[in-house]
Amino acid sequence: MTRHGKNCTAGAVYSYHEGGGDTAASGYGTQRVRLGRDAIKDFDCCCLSLQPCRDPVVTPDGFLYEREAIVAYLLHQKTKIARETKGGSGHCG
């Protein structure tokens, strides 16, 4: 088995030192920062607004949304798409 060089990151296997340097350089935080209170929504909160649902709707995959938030999101997307197609469609005739 060969020894690793200090900057030899082309191989499939990292040494402990090489892996630690890549983790620090990537800016990936600690588990405490990644899983902070603001990263986890409450059980009864909408996936779009992150507020407790008054009129909940559940998808087949189990995601919880508020009906009003879904309608507002769809209207926002519809106007956004209309602006994009009207302004810079590039179609002839």
Residue 64 DSSP SS3? strand
Q: Is residue 42 part of a domain?
A: yes
Q: Is residue 61 part of a domain?
A: yes
Taking a C-beta distance cutoff of 8 angstroms, is the pair 38, 53 a contact? no
The predicted pLDDT at position 17 comes to: 67
Cα–Cα distances (Å) from 12 to 4, 8, 15, in that order, read 11, 10, 10
Q: Is residue 60 part of a domain?
A: yes
pTM: 0.49
Cross-strand pairs, 58 = 64
Considering its fold, how many domains does the chain have in total?
Answer: 1
27-68 confidence digits (pLDDT tens): 565 555 566 666 677 788 898 888 899 999 999 999 999 999
Q: Is residue 65 part of a domain?
A: yes
